[in-house]
Amino acid sequence: MIKRLNTALITLSFLCIPLFAGINGMSALKEDINSQVQSANQEIENALEVLNERLNQKLDRVDAYEKLYCNIKGQNCENPSAFTATDENESKDMIIHKLVGGWVGTNHSLNQQPEPNYDFINIDSQKAIFDAHLCLEVHFKTSSEIKFAKPLYMDKTVVFCALESGGSGLIDINLIDDNLSDGSNTTHLKVAEGLGGWRCFNPDNNLGNAGTAFGHDSDGTRVVDKIDGVINNCLAHKTVDLST
């Protein structure tokens, strides 16, 4: 009887090995995903802070912000001549391909700089929703640009736009530019405090997202856990398209 019991326990232990290995593997994958997204969040917050500072300094004449990240072939690096090997490796591991920020549209102020070199805002049929607003376009890498790419971010794009401090909506360049006939509103001079100062547009069907928003599965299920940062605005508020 004892021998039979020992044999049964040994058999059960072998049967359970794949289960435990699967659990451990899923846990490691989840940690890897969260780490990648958290690192991207820091880069995004840094860029948003720059835009915030430039708004305070120049109002309707905000200089464009642009930053590129190396792909696995060492291409598309920001200031490659100034890169160290460590810089390049960190850039290669970053899931972001490109950050571009500034005012959207150019027909608002006599003093405004040329519109930033947006890639996906410019070609989207619903670009008008961003017009006259202070935004940051975030485009993520494809499977050809980063090792072990995850479908939840591959070739996805999200857009952050600044919310004015009065709480009524997005900052509008027409309310702070030199054309006084548009009126003015001092709440549009400053981004609302905290992470809530930036609305994230994360659609399934616009910005080239091909039916699945950043951070979600094809069935709409959220893949990434809550991230402590502004990128959580995208994960928590994905939409079907830009009109919703």
Domain ranges in the chain are: 18-236
Q: What is the pLDDT of residues 129-141, one digit of tens each?
A: 999 999 999 999 9
- The pLDDT of residue 26: 65
Specify whether the CB–CB gap between 132 and 108 falls below 8 A: yes
Specify the pLDDT at position 2: 45
d(CA 178, CA 127): 24
The single-letter code of the amino acid at 167 is G
Q: Is the pLDDT of residue 24 over 80?
A: no
- pLDDT reported for residue 226: 80
Q: How far apart are CA 132 and CA 157, in angstroms?
A: 20
pLDDT at 200 (0 to 100): 98
- State the pTM of this model: 0.84
Residue-wise pLDDT for 42-88, tens only, equals 999 999 999 999 999 988 889 999 999 988 888 877 765 555 666 66
pLDDT at 31: 83
Mean pLDDT of 230-239: 96
pLDDT at 206: 94
Alpha carbons 11 and 5: distance in angstroms, whole number: 10
Give me the chain's average pLDDT, please.
84
Nearest-CA neighbor of 56 among 171, 166, 180?
Answer: 171
What mean pLDDT is predicted for residues 186-193? Answer: 91
Q: What is the pLDDT of residues 84-129, one digit of tens each?
A: 666 667 788 899 999 999 999 866 665 556 789 999 998 888 889 9
| DSSP type of residue 227 | P
